[in-house]
A and B are shown apart, each in its own frame.
Chain A
Amino acid sequence: MATLGAGCAALPAPPVVAPHEGQPSPRPGLQQDRPAPGVLRPGDGLRLEVLSVDERSYPQLLVSATGQLHVPGLGDIEVAGLTLSQAEALIVERQRRVDAQARAVLYQVSQAGARVTVLGAVTRQGGYPLTPGMRMADAIGAAGGPLLAPPNSPSQAALPLADLSRAVVSRGGKALPIDLERALRGEAGHNVFAHPGDHIFVPPRREHVVSVLGQVGRPSVLVHHEGMRLTEALALAGGVTRDGDGADIRLLRGPPEAPQVFSASLAAIKAGKGRDATLAPGDVLFVTDQWLEDLREVMGVLMPLTSLASAALLIAIVSQ
């Protein structure tokens, strides 16, 4: 049956690719990875208690964008980049110009200045406070993880819609050479410490679907997963219909400008002669019409004609 068509005799069988045959990531990862130092940053919130002639307490002072802390009565003090105790010492020194016995205690009440921004295909986009020891995977976790697609069938796990391997982590205006896909698997050099101001953009996956159309129960677009097989995709699309030619299933692969066309046969797979194909992201499956279907269509149109003709013939005979 597969030799029937003019075009399909020349079509090769689709290749079988073993899963996990992906190309090595071009991003080498970071060699040196240290957590960010624990210093004060613009946006941090501080509580100050001053013991001088009078006792004062300021529950919420914010470090400004330029790194200054305004202490009421003392003016602006540069604190960005200092540790908490260094900042405290500076405040005490200022206060002692007025009162030699003054004391001050500084507490950090918020680390809002240390934030990581996560945008793109994640569950909850937003800016998240950088907790001490936070790594890339934790940052993605704080944003609710990668966006998931509704599964192709209830028995399947939800599939990620985020292309983590193309995610961009920028720090200080430069992209880090790390691969978030590997970071989420916990690989050293990729799952690096997050720094304040890190900016993560996770693009959505693009060529991640398999389209199934032609003579199938439910023409549909399925989310591809690694190791997805032709038979699996056909089953998810409702199987080959009665009118479909199971012996000539076309597989389009490659760029739309010049796709390669393969032909697979369910009958051969059933008989153990052919191999099931492994699908690649972006593949298009097309189940061709059976020749009987074409014939049936023509017959369906001709049937009323023939019955009319025979009736007319009958009348002609009778009237004679």
Chain B
Amino acid sequence: MFPSARFAALPRSGFPGVIGGLLMASVACGYPRPPAHPAAEVGEKKGAEDEGFEAAQVERPGMPSDAPHGFALAPGDTLAVELVSTETQNIEGLMLDGKGMIHLPLVGDVAVGGASLSEVEQVLTQAFHRFDRLAQVRVRLTGRGGQRATVLGAVEKQGPVELHPAARLTDLIAAAGGPLSTVTGPDPVTVADVSGAVVMRDGKALPVDMQRAMLGDPKHNIYVRPGDHVYVPPSRGMNITVLGQVGNPQLFVHREGLRLTQVLALAGGVTTGGDKDDIRVIRGTLLKPKVYTASLRDVVDGNSHDVVLQPGDIIFVTDHFIEDFSEVMAAITPALSLGLTSAALAITIQR
């Protein structure tokens, strides 16, 4: 161990830091420091390019008066009809066709789609009265094939879900296994755009917000009806790209509160050839990207803040100038030494 007093005059970053600093002044000065938090940027974000995107984010008020609805037959349901008269006749397996009709002996096609079971009993009793005045009709439901809603998109199990009475939106999502998620390092991250989920009923989107439904808000966690269609879009442009002089360049799924230091650690840290003083953060739209430069050294010295990342950010760890220099050296050294050796040889031969 050296006595520390001897080196007290040496600046912390040492010789390369001094030159690096000078060099940096010419190289990286054009880029501002990134703001600590994306929210700080909101003021300047009002570019013409972003306006259309902002407008797409519509607040969904929810459905305040959402009463459960009674049972209604839907195409795909199966009925069993008991015809009670002088003798009892059982007709099983009557499935509603696409138009909500069932086919019975004597009376032919009867429209029952949308009706309750009691209503079907009344309709059938009247229909059979033409043939048998004493006939009584009893109807029961044997198959619930029509009582289905569909969940598609970024959920664990896409497909139709059989609805039990009084099922709510979250029951539907739960039956589909929940929003699709992945794990970034030790973080569970959902790759579904839950708040962008769309609930379609009779061809119209309902004004409900799945994110709030998941938290149990009854205005949004509505009763699901047969035939409802839920689409959960995957989250797009939510990646963070880490490139350059890092141990393991890769993509990460963004999540709230992800910090620059954390992403660098996940990517295996800055390599020896990387410049800790010039880490570029490229942010913004494809056409108008903004480039910032952050210094890891400043952050750990307490001279600067850490950076909270935004979806779509690209982190690029630049080469340290020494790295560039040594690369050049490595490239030209063989040539130089070859030249020198041949020169030495030539001189020796001349003599």
Contacts and interface: CB of A to CB of B under 8 A. Distances in A.
Nearest to B248: A219
B165 A113 contact: yes
Interface in B229-288: 247, 255-257, 259-262, 264-270, 272
A131 interface: no
Interface residues of A, number: 95
A29 interface: no
B301 A308 contact: no
Contacts of A4: 4, 7-8, 10, 12
Interface in B1-40: 1, 4, 7-8, 10-17, 36-37
Contacts of B178: 119-120, 125-126
A213 B271 CA distance: 10
A172 B218 CA distance: 7
A284 B305 CA distance: 12
Given A175-B216, A221-B262, A256-B305, A62 B165 contact: yes
A65 B71 contact: yes
Contacts of B89: none
Contacts of A154: none
B112 to A, nearest CB: 13
Contacts of B302: 7, 11, 259-261
Contacts of A43: 164-167
Contacts of A260: 302
Contacts of B61: none
Contact of A118 (B84, B174, B219, B221): B174
Contact of B215 (A56, A125, A126, A170): A170
B91 interface: no
A308 B330 CA distance: 12
Interface stretch (B50-58, B133-141, B201-209): B133-141
Given A7-B301, A66-B70, A119 B15 contact: no
> How many B residues touch the partner, as a band?
35 or more
A299 to B, nearest CB: 10
B111 interface: no
A42 B186 contact: no
Contacts of B337: 307-308, 311
A21 interface: no
A298 B19 CA distance: 11
A3 B84 CA distance: 100
Given A4-B4, A213-B265, A295-B14, A121 B188 contact: yes
Given A3-B8, A63-B165, A206-B257, A76 B118 contact: yes
Instruction: Point out which of B166, B264, B326, B341 has the most chain A C-beta atoms below 10 A from its C-beta.
Output: B166
A168 B70 CA distance: 30
A257 B84 CA distance: 78
A81 to B, nearest CB: 13
A89 interface: no
A214 interface: yes
A312 interface: yes
B187 A204 contact: yes
Given A72-B140, A204-B187, A315-B340, A252 B300 contact: yes
A308 B165 contact: no
A6 B300 contact: no
Interface stretch (A31-39, A133-141, A177-185, A286-294): A286-294
B140 A207 contact: no
Interface string A299-316: 011001101100110110
A281 B292 CA distance: 27
A197 to B, nearest CB: 8
A278 interface: no
Contacts of B261: 211, 213, 252, 284, 286
Contacts of B170: 117, 119, 199
Nearest to A68: B70
Interface string B156-187: 00000000111110110111011000010111
B322 A297 contact: yes
A8 B301 contact: yes
20 contacts: A3-B8, A62-B164, A66-B70, A70-B139, A117-B168, A118-B174, A126-B177, A149-B186, A150-B186, A168-B215, A214-B300, A216-B269, A256-B306, A257-B36, A257-B37, A286-B300, A294-B15, A308-B336, A308-B337, A312-B340
The 8 A-B residue pairs with the shortest CB-CB distance in the complex, in nearest-first order: A170-B216, A219-B269, A294-B14, A72-B138, A261-B302, A125-B178, A5-B12, A256-B306
